[in-house]
Amino acid sequence: MNEIQLERIDFEPGKSFKLFSPRLRNTFLWHYHPEFELVYVEADAGIRHVGTHISGYTQSDLVFIGSNLPHLNFDYRLRSDYHQIVVQLRTDFMGQALNHAPELSLVNKLFKSAAYGIAFHGETRALAAQKLKELNSLSSFDQLLQLMHIFQLLAGSKEYTLLNNDESSKDFILKDKIRMGAIYEYIDANYAQKPDVNVVADKVNLTTAAFCRYFKRQTNITFTEFVNQYRIERAKNLLMQDKNITQTCYAVGFESLSYFNKLFNKLVGENPSDFKRKWVGNHDKL
């Protein structure tokens, strides 16, 4: 079994943050770290898996992740080219200023909310992305000032989604990171076939009934519901590559096209053909 990995982050001497552009799309890196992390990625479509939350993103994603919140790398299994910017911040970033400077009260609230994982969208994401892209051309001091402008922008925005409801799921995952790591890796490796709840239960040394209770307590949904969500996110990625709908249905593990269409509509808000037509049409105009 592969446990959820603790990522060791090294900072350059005299720097309170790390700026880089990782490329790990062929690596299933389910990990956590004490440091805060701001991730921006531009790609056709990808998986967003933060804490017990799983969803997808299209075109771009901007997520702020708090201390020790387990997450999957955002470029995992991306098919086409992509661009990613990651900023990792020391746990004592800005020292005590966040707690004591009244001018930073909104930013302090943002950092506390990051414990749940925050996804930003709309104009906020676009403006923050532009500022992040400028960081490499700035001096270390100006980079710090730019980051504070970015955090102030995020802190004052209403264009966001909290990805987890509470911190208890994070604590539970970290207490049982070998078991949860094995479960997520099994789902990722088998979603296109027939993930067997009995097999995965045996892998983590639980009876099937105990595993089902355990998984529902962890994620607030059943094992089958989680697998289907994962399949639909992978299906969106294939449709964006202009794959045939029937081909996509079977490629992600569904045996009934009508059920695939119904579930896709339920989870995405539109049927696969409309989703594909909108995406391919808009993409062709770029």
Residues 88 and 158 in one domain: yes
Residues 58 and 148 in one domain: yes
- Range of lowest pLDDT (10-19, 75-84, 127-136, 245-254): 75-84
Which residues, other chains included, contact 62 with Cβ-Cβ below 8 Å and sequence gap of 6+? 38, 39, 40, 119, 120, 121, 124, 125, 128, 129
User: Could you give the CA distance from residue 235 to residue 201 in angstroms, rounded to a whole number?
Assistant: 26
Which residues, other chains included, contact 192 with Cβ-Cβ below 8 Å and sequence gap of 6+? 231, 234, 251, 252, 253
CA separation, residue 257 to residues 132, 249, 264, 278, 280 (Å) = 42, 6, 10, 20, 21
* Full-model pTM: 0.80
pLDDT for position 30 = 84
Whether the per-residue pLDDT at 96 is higher than 60: the answer is: yes
pLDDT for position 194 = 86
Residues 103 and 225 in one domain: no
Whether the per-residue pLDDT at 131 is higher than 60: the answer is: yes
- Give CA torsion, residues 151, 114, 186, 234, to 10 deg: -50
| Amino acid identity for residue 77 in this structure | R
Residue 254: domain span: 176-285
Residues 11 and 152 in one domain: yes
Which residues, other chains included, contact 53 with Cβ-Cβ below 8 Å and sequence gap of 6+? 117, 163, 164
Q: How many domains in the chain? A: 2
As a whole-number percent, the residues of the chain with pLDDT over 90 amount to 58
User: What tokens appear for 207 in the block?
Assistant: 């009876």
Higher-confidence residue of 3 and 246: namely: 246
CATH code, domain carrying 193: 1.10.10.60
| CB of 162 closer than 8 Å to CB of 116 | yes
Task: Look at residue 167 and tell me if it is in a domain.
Answer: no
Which residues, other chains included, contact 104 with Cβ-Cβ below 8 Å and sequence gap of 6+? 94, 97, 98
Whether the per-residue pLDDT at 283 is higher than 60: the answer is: no
CATH code, domain carrying 114: 2.60.120
Residues 137 and 270 in one domain: no
The predicted model gives 203-219 an average pLDDT of 89
Whether the per-residue pLDDT at 236 is higher than 50: the answer is: yes
Residues 26 and 133 in one domain: yes
Residues 127 and 185 in one domain: no
pLDDT for position 286 = 44
